[in-house]
Amino acid sequence: MISSLVFVVSGPGGVGKGTIVDALVERDPDLWLSRSWTTRQRRDGERPDAYVFATATEFEERIEADGFLEWTEFLGNYYGTPVPDGDLGGRDVVLEIEVDGAQQIKQLYPEAILIFVLPPSREEQRRRLRGRGDPGDRVLARLRKAEIEEPIGRALADHIVVNDDLEQTIGEMQRIITIERQGRADPR
C-alpha cells in the first residue's frame, strides 16, 4: 500500500461521493477502490457489494483483530476500512469515507491526498438525499451532520471540489489524480 498513492474522497452524505468514485474506478484501471464494512442496513436499490454488510458483533471482532485501517461510528452505525489483503498490483488506492476516518488515515499516511467534495447548496444536497430514497429522518440527520463535517473537511483537504455538474466533477477529479501522479514521478 505504501508505494501506491492513497486518495481519500470525503464529503457530506448525498453529495455524490459514491457516484463519483464508481465512475473514476470504472474509467481508470490504475485505481483500486477499497470496499468498506458497515453495520447499517442496505438501502433499497443499493448494490449488494456496495459494502461488506456486517453485524455489530462481526464488526467488533474485526476491530479486536486489528483488521481495520480506520473505523468510526457514524449516525449510529459502524463504518470501517479493512486492512487490504492481497496485492494491489501497483494500483493507487481510493477510500470513500467520512471526515473522522479521513483524519485517521492522514495520521497513518500523512502523504494521503484528501479530496473533499461539497454540494452546490444544502438544498441540492437535500434533493439528492431524497432522490436516493433516504427516509426523512435520515435526510435531516445527514444535513445536520454536514454542518459539523464541512469545516473539518475544508481544513483537512488537499483539494476541494464542488459537485455541481457530474461530468465536470469527474473531469476535475481525474485532473487532480493526474497532477498527484506527476508529483510522485517527479518528487521535488
Are the C-beta atoms of residues 32 and 137 closer than 8 Å to each other?
A: no
Contacts of 10 (CB under 8 A, 6+ apart): 17, 96, 97, 98, 99, 101, 102, 114, 115, 116, 117, 153, 157
Are the C-beta atoms of residues 10 and 99 closer than 8 Å to each other?
A: yes
Angle at 28 between CA 108 and CA 167, to 5 degrees: 100
From residue 14 to residue 53, what is the string marking binding to ligand ADP with x (rule CB under 6 A)?
A: xxxxxx----------------------------------
Residue whose Cβ sits closest to ligand 5GP: 101
CB 80 to ligand 5GP: min, Å? 5
Chain centre distance of CA 152 = 15
Are the C-beta atoms of residues 129 and 13 closer than 8 Å to each other?
A: yes
Q: Which three cell numbers stand for residue 78?
A: 459502524
Query: Using CB under 6 A, which of 5, 8, 10, 13 touches ligand ADP?
Result: 13
Of 76 and 131, CB closest to ligand ADP: 131
In the numeric block, the cell 508529483 is attached to 183
From residue 58 to residue 97, what is the string marking binding to ligand ADP with x (rule CB under 6 A)?
A: ----------------------------------------
- Mark the segment that binds ligand 5GP (CB under 6 A) among 22-30, 76-84, 160-168, 175-183: 76-84
Judged by beta carbon distances under 5 to 8 A according to partner kind, the member of ligand ADP, ligand 5GP, none in contact with residue 166 is: ligand ADP
Q: Can residue 101 be called a binding residue for ligand 5GP (CB under 6 A)?
A: yes
- Mark the segment that binds ligand ADP (CB under 6 A) among 66-74, 85-93, 165-173, 178-186: 165-173
